[in-house]
Amino acid sequence: MSRTHLSPARRREDRARLADEVVDVLVVGGGVTGAGAALDAASRGLTVGLLEARDWAAGTSSRSSKLVHGGLRYLEQLAFPLVREALHERARLVGTIAPHLVRPLPFLLPLTAPAWQRAYYGAGVALYDLLGAALDAGRGLPAHRHLSRRATLEAFPALRPDAVVGAIRYWDAQVDDARHTLAVVRTAAGYGARVLSSARVTGLLRDGEGPAAAVVGVRVADLADGSSFTVRARSVVAATGVWSDDVGAWLGDSAPSLRVRASKGVHLVVPRSAIDPGDVPDGRRPGLILRTPTSVLFVIPWGGQWIIGTTDTPWKLDRDHPAASSADIGYLLDQVNRVLSRPVTADQVVGVYAGLRPLLAGEADQTSRLSREHAVVTPVPGLVLVAGGKYTTYRVMAADAVDAATAGLPGVPPSRTAHLPLVGAHRWDAVRGTAPELAAAGGLPVDAVERLLARHGDQVGEVLDLVAADPALGRPLPGAPAHLAAEVVHAVIAEGALHVDDVLTRRTRVSIATPHRGTESAAAVAELMAGQLGWDRERTDREVAHYTARVAAERESQRMPDDHTADAARLGAPDVRAAV
Domains of the chain, earliest start first: 8-61+178-258+368-419 (3.50.50.60), 98-174+262-359 (3.30.9.10), 470-572 (1.10.8)
Amino acid making up residue 37: A
If one counts every other C-beta atom within 10 angstroms of the C-beta of residue 210, the result is: 9
State the average pLDDT over residues 214-225: 96
Q: What pLDDT score was predicted for residue 364?
A: 41
Q: What pLDDT score was predicted for residue 253?
A: 65
Is residue 470 over pLDDT 50?
yes
- The residue among 190 and 115 whose pLDDT is bigger is 190
Query: pLDDT-based confidence at 565, cuts 50/70/90?
Result: very high
CB burial of residue 326 (10 Å; 0-12, 13-18, 19+): middle
Query: pLDDT-based confidence at 166, cuts 50/70/90?
Result: very high
Alpha helices in 297-445 (DSSP H): 326-337, 394-405, 428-431, 435-442
Is residue 255 over pLDDT 80?
no
* DSSP 8-class letter at 162: G
d(CA 52, CA 492): 17
Query: pLDDT-based confidence at 258, cuts 50/70/90?
Result: confident
pLDDT tens figures, 227-241:
999 999 999 999 999
| Cα→Cα distances 545→115, 498, 541, 550, 573, Å | 58, 15, 6, 9, 10
- The residue among 76 and 122 whose pLDDT is bigger is 122
Is residue 379 over pLDDT 50?
yes
d(CA 571, CA 573): 5
Judged by average pLDDT, the poorest of 274-278, 375-379, 407-411, 503-507 is 274-278
State the pairing for strand pair 22-28/48-51: parallel
Q: What pLDDT score was predicted for residue 307?
A: 98
Average pLDDT, the chain: 92
Q: What pLDDT score was predicted for residue 363?
A: 38
Contacts of 542 (CB under 8 A, 6+ apart): none
Handedness of CA 197, 201, 207, 212 (dihedral sign): positive
Alpha helices in 393-534 (DSSP H): 394-405, 428-431, 435-442, 446-456, 460-469, 485-493, 500-502, 510-513, 522-533
Is residue 369 over pLDDT 80?
no
d(CA 268, CA 563): 17
pLDDT tens figures, 63-98:
999 999 988 877 777 778 888 899 999 999 999 999
pLDDT tens figures, 106-120:
999 999 887 888 888
Nearest to 8 by CA among 444, 489, 383, 462: 489
Query: pLDDT-based confidence at 440, cuts 50/70/90?
Result: very high
Nearest to 370 by CA among 388, 396, 391, 393: 388
Is residue 370 over pLDDT 60?
no
State the pairing for strand pair 383-388/228-238: parallel
Is residue 124 over pLDDT 90?
no
